[in-house]
Amino acid sequence: AEARRRLLLLQEARESIEAARTYRGELLLRLGGLRQAREQIKESATLTRDVLEQHFSDLKGTLKKLLDERLLSLLQEVDVIEQESIKPLDECQKLIEHGVSTADDLLREGESAVDGDVGQENEKLCNFTKKALHIQLDSLPEVPSLVDVPCLSAQLDDCLLTILKNQIFSHGTVASRPPVQLEEFVEKPGGILVRWCKVDEDFSPQDYRLQLRKGMGSAFEDAYVGSDTEFLVLHLDPHVDYQFRVCARGDGRQEWSPWSVPQLGRTTLVPHEWTAGLEGYSLSSRRNIALRNDSQSCGVLYSKAPTYSCGQTLTFRQVPRGELIETVGQPDRRDSLGVCVEQQNGYDSLQRDKAVCISTNGAVFVNGKEMTNQLPAVTSGSTVTFDMEVVQLGPCSNEGGNVKLRVTISSNNREVVFDWVLDQCCGSLYFGCSFSYPGWKVLVF
């Protein structure tokens, strides 16, 4: 009994120790979270101070420059008015000074004629009289009165200071948290579906702006600007950390809100790629867009590898061939977009065994048989998605086993759901397409 009691005590002690260890671990995690929160507050406060100081320093410089430019403009106006107003006065002054000089000469000549010898008196007096008549001594230049000439002054409205004061005192705000935050990262092949949400109930967003950067040393770049609250970022390298942030623009405003707290996202899924080298199809540089060209050769274009797995969403999007061409190729009943268990050459369509697909006319085929349910036709800009989940019927082993996949195909806001029974386990599937006529251009992601 004593030994049993001791064993119970030891067991309880071990459980208490384990509980204490777990408790300590949780406390350390929370302590680490508190430290990160403290660092975030201090770092964001330091950054905000730097931004405010830089912004107002720039404003001071800009305002000084603008005031200096306005002062220079007004001083130039004064110079122009002064020069234009004084010019006629200077000309009048020269005319009067010339008249005074002429009058002085005439006076001297007249006094000489009057005081001259008697023999020459008559001739000098006659010449002087003629000269005086020629000069027109009764004609005087007009001198403007003071009320008729400019009197410069400066009109400076003190209300500018009041306006500037009100604008400056209301300029800028400090927010304790951004109005939008990143909410979820969903891995996609070669990309990440980023979702965000509004966290400020008083904020009415008009547009959102999502940015990302690779690693920590590069600069942020715009990935999306629009009104949606999610965006699929493609062309990302697998197993590489990307940093994301989002902000918003309020309804009727031009400036963007503060950025959200940056968060890291990554995808471990390799991107979907078409197989290169098949005659009849031209691929983009990233091999995720296939264009049916003018070649007469036809066949099924498969994915480079079986990269589609159940539980994911496979999307085909029909894109226009050019910015001004909104049409697609001529449809054919053999056209197909879908998935298959394995690549099988020699077929001109996925409408065969071990494959499910949709034709461009909206018909759905399972193992080569057409279903009664039909989806809308595939047109320019159409998006077709495949979703699958596994429902296992029998044991799965290396030798095989019956597996049922529940397939959902969606197109233009309509969908069909059916079960696809396979005789073997498939961890991943190929995707493919086939078009009989040129002009079709398909993006896969």
Provide the pLDDT for residue 326.
39
CA separation, residue 156 to residues 117, 159, 162 (Å): 71, 9, 13
Nearest one of 298, 426, 291, 251 to 355, comparing CA atoms = 426
Phi, psi of 443 (to 5 degrees): -100, 135
Provide the pLDDT for residue 117.
62
Write the DSSP symbol of residue 177.
Answer: S
Provide the pLDDT for residue 175.
77
Provide the pLDDT for residue 345.
86
**Per the structure block, which two tokens stand in for 140?**
């005087």
**Per the structure block, which two tokens stand in for 231?**
């965006």
Nearest one of 430, 436, 277, 431 to 348, comparing CA atoms = 436
**In the chain, domain spans:** 26-170, 181-267, 281-444
**Per the structure block, which two tokens stand in for 184?**
């979820």
- Per CATH, domain 181-267 is 3.90.1530.30: no
Same fold, 181-267 and 281-444: no
Provide the pLDDT for residue 433.
93
CA dihedral 305, 309, 315, 321 (to 10 degrees): 0
pLDDT by 10-residue block (mean), the chain, 445 residues:
86 92 93 90 90 93 94 94 89 86 80 67 72 71 82 86 88 84 92 92 90 88 94 90 93 86 91 90 90 87 92 84 50 92 90 93 94 89 90 58 86 92 84 91 90
Provide the pLDDT for residue 322.
44
Bridge partner residues of 366 (DSSP): 356, 369
As a residue count, the chain comes to 445
CA separation, residue 14 to residues 18, 28, 81 (Å): 6, 21, 99
**Degrees, nearest 5: CA angle 168-173-177:** 175
Strand arrangement, sheet containing 230-233: 180-188, 191-198, 230-233
Tokens 């002062």 belong to which residue?
A: 71
Phi, psi of 167 (to 5 degrees): -65, -40
- Residue 238 CB contacts under 8 Å (≥ 6 apart), including other chains: 190, 266, 267, 268, 269, 270, 271
CA separation, residue 254 to residues 177, 228, 241, 251, 349 (Å): 20, 18, 32, 9, 52
Provide the pLDDT for residue 143.
82
What span, in angstroms and rounded, lies between the C-alpha atoms of 102 and 359? 111
Q: What residue type is assigned to position 82 of the chain?
A: E
Provide the pLDDT for residue 1.
78
CA separation, residue 74 to residues 63, 175, 384 (Å): 16, 41, 67
Bridge partner residues of 388 (DSSP): 407
Provide the pLDDT for residue 320.
63
CATH placement of domain 281-444? 2.60.120.920
